[in-house]
Amino acid sequence: MSQSTFRERTLATRYQQRQQLPQNFPDVLKEYAREVLRAQPSDILSWSAEYFKALALEADPSAAPREPSGAPRRSPMGSPDADPEREELMHAMLAAFRQNDGNGDGRLYSRIMKRVLTQDFDLSPKQALYILTSEYAEVSEDDTLEYANFAREASLAVQFFQKSRQDFSEVNEDEGQLVHGMSRTDIVQEFLPQFRRLDTQSTGLISFSDYRYILTTAAVNLTNREIRLLCVECDRSHPNDKIAYELEVNEMFSRLVLGEQFEQFDKDL
């Protein structure tokens, strides 16, 4: 079983010919009306876009955006094209994500998606974290993802881990180990004062947006994957979704070491 990276994103736009309305169009509209009345989304346009996008993926996975003509689709299973087993897995992922979408807006928090991947698809926490920090996992500033496109893109990696059972080792920090040229103590001393400056009432808590802001503007110059990793893993169970930043800072070095494992895994594929 050959291995290759899971990266297969593209910014190309495809223009398609106008299609006639399908014969079942009235039924589709009736079902849509029932769903939109049930969900009552605050942003009906965005909700509708995600609804029909997910519906199209269920009916025909080829309706999703494709790579430009001639660009290879690289798969960890060694096949460039979608296979029936993977399509079935993609539909199962989409259904599982929908069950957790209480708002009906087509988006889920990354921590919820991680829970779904581990509980419903038998992935280890590190396997799920690897997937959620990959390039195709487009996490927004509020830590949510569109799960329709994610299900299509991530089904390759989910299938790979389910079949290979390959996992990531425990993070064993060697004495003198560095990340970004910094020791564990250096990382704490770099980030802790910045978080404390935003904690104007000395509660030990800051908002997620403030937490993410420090990560994205830090002089350490964290990679996108490292930022996603630290955001997915942070504990947001405190009142008002706040972050206990001292606890997070103490875990930051180990998580950055894990991020290096993920990068090395990509290089070795």
pLDDT of residue 46: 72
**Does the pTM exceed 0.75?**
no
Largest CA distance in the chain: 67
CA of 208: how far to CAs of 182, 188, 241, in Å?
Answer: 24, 18, 7
What domains can you pick out in the chain, each with its CATH number? 84-164 (1.10.238), 184-268 (1.10.238.10)
The three-point CA angle 122-128-133 to 5° equals 165
Cα radius of gyration rounded to whole Å, the chain? 21
- 68 to 53, 133, 180: CA distances (angstroms): 20, 24, 36
By CB atoms closer than 10 A (0-12, 13-18, 19+), residue 175 is exposed
Residue 84: enclosing H or E segment and its boundaries?
helix 84-99
End-to-end CA distance of the chain: 11
Strands 243-244 and 205-206: antiparallel
Euclidean distance between CA atoms 26 and 6, whole angstroms: 39
pLDDT computed for residue 40 by the predictor = 60
Structure tokens at 248: 């997070």
- Beta carbons of 245 and 192 less than 8 angstroms apart: yes
Helix or strand holding residue 49 (H, E): helix 44-59
pLDDT for the residue 157: 94
CA distance to 143, 160, 189, 241, per residue, from 199 (Å): 21, 43, 16, 15
What is the C-alpha separation between 255 and 171, in angstroms, rounded? Answer: 8
11-64 pLDDT tens trace: 333 334 445 556 676 667 767 766 666 556 666 777 677 777 777 776 665 555
| Cα(62)–Cα(262) distance, integer angstroms | 29
For the chain (length 269 residues), average pLDDT per consecutive 10? 42 41 68 63 72 73 50 39 82 96 93 96 96 91 92 93 86 80 96 96 95 94 94 90 95 95 88
Angle CA 175–178–182, to nearest 5: 125
Whole-number pLDDT of residue 38: 57
